[in-house]
């Protein structure tokens, strides 16, 4: 089973310097790769390359996110040649989140499946290509069945493996895993795991982008530690706010560890842990789960 982290390019020079230190600490767990995001519409693409170089310098494999948004065929060709010249030959092919107000990608490709086919046609086997999988169905797809059909198309077009979106509904994940196998999808599945550490961030991640289910155990953790008037207020009136934040972090960490335990029993290809550019929290999760030890 593979083990990996997701990072994002910081917007400041100080953040970039801190990230170099974070990568060093996370490399103590011998990850198989780091995936590196960039912003909607390709923003932060330059810093994405900088982070890829940091990962290469640390002696491991960078997997760059790469989206269709705003990209013509020629621009994609040139950008990917640049990645290859820098030694980056692993990518996660995505449509990408549309910037606010956009109704389409604004580029030559509307779907990640088209991007996969193009990369295979232009570069052959020079790239290892991951694609996204949505155990609950993509928020913009008309049905789970349609979403699985698209995933099969990505495989047919040349994708190598799947990185999943976060999923806290474990029964739904099991149903999805069975369904994609019945559909003839044989690609390994690396499961994206979002650590539960902050109440507002958890709710925002579930509802603002993914439309995913927060299961009863997670909802109970949120309810037990609810910060009044709500967790999105920067200066809450709740006198117990700091204690609740600490309790939520501890209960959320235990929830994340139990989720990892369940995933590990299902025959998945790997665990892909969203590091959130922090090493202390995820190091504690890794250590307490027992799934990896430091070198």
pLDDT single digits (tens) 24-71? 999 999 999 999 997 655 555 679 999 999 999 999 999 999 999 888
* 82: its two tokens: 């640049």
pLDDT value of residue 261 = 96
Query: What is the residue-averaged pLDDT of the chain?
Result: 94
Question: What is the DSSP code (8-state) at residue 161?
Answer: E
Mean pLDDT of 128-135: 97
Range of weakest confidence among 115-124, 128-137, 206-215: 206-215
pLDDT value of residue 21 = 97
Residue 208 has pLDDT above 60, yes or no: yes
pLDDT value of residue 97 = 79
pLDDT value of residue 7 = 97
Q: What is d(CA 222, CA 39) in angstroms, rounded to the nearest whole number?
A: 29
- Choose, from 6, 74, 122, 254, the residue flagged as catalytic: 6
pLDDT value of residue 253 = 97
Residue 231 has pLDDT above 90, yes or no: yes
Q: Are 218 and 255 in contact (CB under 8 A)?
A: yes
Mean pLDDT of 283-294: 94
Concerning whether 6 is annotated as a catalytic residue, the answer is yes
Q: Which residues of 146-170 are buried (b: 16+ CB within 10 A; e: fewer)?
A: ebbebbbbbbebbbbbbbbbbbbbb
Contacts of 34 (CB under 8 A, 6+ apart): 4, 5, 6, 7, 23, 26, 55, 60, 61, 62, 63
Query: By C-alpha distance, which of 293, 290, 260, 113 is closest to 173?
Result: 260
* 152: its two tokens: 């099969």
Residue 256 has pLDDT above 70, yes or no: yes
pLDDT in tens, 216-227: 999 999 999 999
Helix or strand or coil: residue 261?
A: helix
């Amino acid at each position: 089973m593979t083990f990996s982290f997701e990072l994002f390019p910081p917007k400041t020079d100080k953040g970039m310097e801190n990230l170099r230190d974070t990568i060093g600490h996370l490399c103590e767990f011998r990850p198989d790769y780091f995936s590196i995001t960039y912003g909607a519409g390709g923003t932060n693409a330059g810093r994405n390359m900088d982070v890829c170089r940091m990962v290469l310098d640390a002696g491991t494999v960078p997997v760059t996110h790469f989206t269709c948004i705003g990209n013509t065929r020629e621009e994609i060709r040139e950008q990917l040649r640049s990645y290859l010249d820098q030694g980056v030959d692993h990518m996660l092919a995505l449509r990408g989140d549309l910037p606010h107000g956009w109704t389409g990608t604004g580029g030559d490709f509307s779907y990640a499946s088209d991007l996969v086919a193009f990369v295979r046609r232009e570069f052959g086997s020079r790239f290892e290509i991951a694609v996204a999988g949505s155990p609950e169905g993509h928020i913009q797809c008309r049905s789970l069945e349609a979403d699985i059909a698209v995933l099969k198309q990505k495989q047919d077009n040349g994708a190598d493996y799947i990185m999943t979106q976060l999923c806290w509904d474990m029964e739904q994940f099991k149903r999805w895993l069975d369904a994609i196998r019945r559909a003839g999808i044989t690609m390994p599945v690396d499961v994206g795991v979002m650590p539960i550490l902050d109440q507002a961030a958890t709710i925002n991640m579930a509802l603002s982008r993914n439309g995913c289910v927060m299961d009863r155990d997670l909802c109970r953790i949120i309810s037990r530690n609810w910060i009044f008037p709500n967790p999105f207020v920067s200066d809450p009136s709740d006198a117990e706010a700091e204690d609740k934040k600490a309790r939520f972090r501890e209960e959320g960490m235990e929830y994340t560890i139990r989720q990892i335990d369940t995933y590990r029993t299902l025959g998945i290809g790997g665990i892909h842990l969203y590091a959130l550019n922090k090493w202390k929290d995820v190091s504690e999760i890794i250590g307490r789960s027992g799934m990896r030890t430091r070198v």
